[in-house]
Amino acid sequence: MLKNIELCNVGPAERMAFKPVAHRFNLITGDNGLGKSFLLEASWWALTGTWHAHPAVPSRGDAVIAYQFDGDTKVYSASSKWDPKSQRWRRKAGRPPNPGLVIYAGIDGSFSIWDPARNYRIYRRADGGEAESPAAYQFGPHQVLDGLRRTVVEGGVSREQVVCAGLIDDWTRWQAANDPKFQLLTRLLHHLGPDGQPLEPGRPVRPTLDDDLRSRIETTIRDLRLNEDPTFIRAREEYHDLYHGLQTNESGVPREPLPFDWLANECPFVAYELQRQGRLRK
């Protein structure tokens, strides 16, 4: 755990200090632009050796960041100076001391996670070669839901590697398999809800096939109803099946985006009407 951090000629002030750091809870207050978020960014770097977003740069040449945190067996102290030639803060080479699990949550919905069991590790690939795990997990707002990926080179060939599955993928897989992780997630959601209104996960459904396609389908059905077309009921039933009965496969996992051929096969009347009215093109 971080014990203290001091910054000289870095950031919005000539000197900034965060000490002593309380063991369980710390509250930092102040007006906009005074450096609250900057202080947290610097604290994340001191513990992990990586930056959540953009690295801090000095305001003067003699810039220093000094910090202390609890390591595996003792308190680790260090002082880093800015190297103008390499444009980075000097730190000892190699794996950094272990401060334990570190989580940084950004106001924009992004997250940075440093896991001592996974980051800065050498692992063996399926082809027998060695590769290095990420220095830290840097999740943007969308990557929390959709997953974190990176490009790796194996045998001279670049490919995309899934570093971490997103919440949507994990949620649907856990729920379909009745995994104990889903039971834990269910209990967590229960406690996150307001008093007397616990949050409960429902069946996975597709929120929309395609916003433009959905709008055209709904407009077609509305026109059939307004014109008192006798086929309105049939079209409405097909549409209901499309969004409530055919959104997931047998395992309960949402289908991939639906192509035109699938729509024409499952909802032929709706597809025909859309084509006839020029609202759907193959």
Concatenated DSSP letters of 19-73: -SPPSS-------TTSSHHHHHHHHHHHHHSS-SSSPP-BSSSS-EEEEEEE-SS
User: pTM for this structure?
Assistant: 0.64
Q: Is the pLDDT assigned to residue 14 strictly greater than 80? A: yes
What is the residue extent of each domain of the chain?
Answer: 2-100, 211-276
DSSP string, 176-209: HHT-HHHHHHHHHHHHHSPTT----------S-S
Q: How confident is the model at residue 263 (pLDDT cuts 50, 70, 90)?
A: low
Among all chains, which residue has been given the structure tokens 């997630």?
Answer: 185
Interior angle at CA 192, CA 119 and CA 22, nearest 5: 55
User: What integer pLDDT is reported at residue 258 of this predicted model?
Assistant: 44
Higher pLDDT residue, 124 or 77? 77
Q: How far are the Cα atoms of 14, 54, 64, 81, 103 from residue 61, in angstroms, in the given order?
A: 12, 19, 9, 9, 31
Q: What are residue 165's phi and psi, to 5 degrees?
A: -70, 150
DSSP state of 143: H
Q: Report the distance separating Cα 254 and Cα 266, nearest Å.
A: 16
Q: Are 3 and 66 a contacting pair, CB within 8 Å?
A: no
* Per-residue pLDDT reduced to its tens digit, 90-122: 888 767 788 889 999 988 889 999 998 888 777
List, for residues 172-186, the tens digit of each pLDDT value. 889 988 899 999 999
Residue 66 pLDDT greater than 90, yes or no: yes
- DSSP-derived letter for residue 172 is H
Say if residue 233's pLDDT is above 80. no
Residue 45, classified by CB atoms within 10 Å of its CB into exposed (0-12), middle (13-18) or buried (19+), is: buried
* Cα separation values, 99 from 5, 47, 51, 71, 72, Å: 14, 6, 16, 5, 7
Q: Is it true that domain 2-100 has CATH number 3.40.50.300? A: yes
Residue located via tokens 């390499």:
86
pLDDT of residue 125: 66
